[in-house]
Structure 1
Amino acid sequence: MDQDNTRFDVKLYVYDLSKGMARQLSPALLGKQLDGIWHTAIVIHNEEFFFGGEGISSCPPGGTILGQPNSIVDLGETEVNEDIFMSYLMGLGESTYRGENYKLFEHNCNTFSNEVAQFLTGSKIPSYITDLPSEVLSTPFGQALLPLLNSVAISPSGSGSFNSQR
């Protein structure tokens, strides 16, 4: 069995949406240090996949308006080929990860990346990313901002979409 044809690298692209401002302002605003406001995407089969207010989208790796990621986490390898993966994404895009299901704190790009990482590799994405919403909401300022933040949808435009067209 040829190892090169049956295993595929899985990467997590991590972007700081605040461009460093979270690190500078979070101690004063939240009373605790945040290193960033994280947007994540899964890179597999030479494509970057992410979830936002428009649903599941894709682009070439590093091809969103966010530019190059702040960091790349190697999540391991998978045996899931491109056809199976695309079918899986289509199913997610028609159900759980439709654009209107996006919620900044509860059901976002990081929720998507975590679920897809577990499907592909059996492992979760780093907890410093998935724990960020609860860290923010555990502060009085986070609670005060919750109504406003729940109305925000992040959509770093990609070239492909897996939304159900309804």
Structure 2
Amino acid sequence: MADRPYESLVRWARTDVAARRAPADAPLPAPDTVLDLAELDRIGLLSDELRAQSTLQNGRMTVREAELNDTALLELVLARPDSPACFFTLLALAARDAGRSIDMVGLGDRVQRFGPDNGRALTLHFDGDRVRTAQSSGVGDTRGDGGFVPVSGELGLSAHTVNEVGPSGFEPL
């Protein structure tokens, strides 16, 4: 059976980050983010060494203390496919790979730019449930949806999650 589009995108993201590290604008967990050891264990990142170290630290450990590389940080982000960090990280990777910036316009016209700052950006608009490009503004729309494409099915994003994210884009575990 063929992969679903999201699964293919995740596989590509893992390969890209393993080969080239994460782009600087990807909202990976910050060094001071406290890790959830159960989640690390669930996604296969909790080694015996990290388990022992966390025991010595009363069960608390930060990203910096765990010395996680970009590939491991990506796994933390991908473990939460409904998070803004996952969505924005995938945008940052796509922008870098395309060599073109992507502007994500959220509610209240808040703009987040991903990728290189060169040339004309691809602009995506988020209405709280769906994403559309500036070119699909709804003019001549025969579907009645204003040119928006739902994203909440696989990514579970909401107006709250896209517009109210912490400084790194990653909500603490």
Q: Under a length normalisation based on structure 2, what TM-score does the superposition of the two structures give?
A: 0.25
Higher gyration radius (CA)? 2
Q: Under a length normalisation based on structure 1, what TM-score does the superposition of the two structures give?
A: 0.26
